[in-house]
Amino acid sequence: MKPIVGIIDWAKSPLGDPESAAEKAVIGEAAEIRRYLCSSDADFTDEICAADALIVWHNTPITRAGIARLQRCRAIIRNGVGFDSVDVAAARERGIAVCNVPDYGTEEVADHAIALTMALCRQLFPLDSEAKSLGWVIHVEPKLRRLRELTFGLVGLGRIGTATALRAKALGFNVVFYDPHISNGADKALGIARVRTLEELLARTDVLSLHCPLNAETHHLIGERELSLLKPGAFVVNTARGAVIQKTAILRALREGRIAGAGLDVVEDEPLQTPEEAATPNLIVTCHAAFCSVESKLEMRSTSARIALAAVSGAPLENIVNG
């Protein structure tokens, strides 16, 4: 029998296609490709558990219990950058590699962060609403800002953070970053400034943009205390992971007018859960779509398929994140 590559797509909102055309173009006849719609690993059938490799989209959590049921899986490939949805320690204990695709959407996510920033700094959505209501009063004039007078603060200077920093710099922002894991000299190479504490970054920032992974260190990195350190006119942008920001804290800060606005591509416990959350003032939300473009999704799926092919062929694996 041919080895099996299982594609685990999110039942609520599938992101792949029923034909798995991109994956089949890479894997060819080397394995049988089967696609499954799952809400979580509780939906795993015996057939899924017998797969030789799994390609997993981001909204389907893979827990210790699910991993324990896998019979001969060599690799779990996260179809994207983040791998917080997979219990990497449990996979390592079972000898299963967890791999990701770290570079496919760098341009798109950076562009999306800047798009949210521009929508906030230039108040595009309130102005659009005013014009379409046949009005012509610029109620949001106090929030319209000159970019070169503003400080753009980044948390995280990896691939996407760097790409965003360069875009913000080109627009005239004063760019500052905080990242305790980056070696000295990155600021000099990019021509931007560095601060050594999150508190200093927050105090200086007019636009806070998050570009860090979600892990034990960054879970709720931005909560009530951190939001209180921002200027009242500050904007917050998150294209990283939802739980980096405590959802209740940022929605409360927006309702109370303690920050001027937020642009969130990701939210904790996404999507938004209630009409009250959706009605939060000065909030722009997009559908965890920053990574999306025709080109980026094809690149991501092709890379995941290439890793899956290596897994079923016994070849060395790329982008292993669990050692």
Give mean pLDDT, residues 23-45.
97
| pLDDT tens per residue, range 180-189 | 999 999 999 9
Q: What is the pLDDT of residue 59?
A: 81
Q: What is the pLDDT of residue 184?
A: 95
Q: 197 burial class (0-12, 13-18, 19+ CB within 10 angstroms)?
A: exposed
- Decide if pLDDT at 58 tops 90: no
Q: What is the pLDDT of residue 32?
A: 97
Model confidence, pTM: 0.86
Give mean pLDDT, residues 222-236.
98
Give mean pLDDT, residues 18-44.
97
Give mean pLDDT, residues 116-140.
97
Nearest to 158 by CA among 177, 134, 174: 177
Q: What is the pLDDT of residue 153?
A: 98
pLDDT band of residue 215 (cuts 50, 70, 90) is: very high
Give mean pLDDT, residues 52-79.
96
Residue 5 CA, distance from chain mean position: 25
Catalytic sites, residue numbers:
241, 270, 288
Which domains are delineated in the chain?
4-104+294-313 (3.40.50.720), 106-285 (3.40.50.720)
Is the distance from CB of 323 to CB of 47 less than 8 angstroms?
A: no
To the nearest whole percent, how much of the chain has pLDDT over 70?
100
Q: Lowest mean pLDDT: which of 24-28, 57-61, 116-120, 158-162?
A: 57-61
Nearest to 6 by CA among 292, 311, 296: 311
Give mean pLDDT, residues 300-315.
97
Is the distance from CB of 248 to CB of 227 less than 8 angstroms?
A: no
CA atoms within 13 A of residue 4's CA, in its CB half-sphere? 17
Give mean pLDDT, residues 112-133.
97
Enter the tokens of residue 81.
């950058």
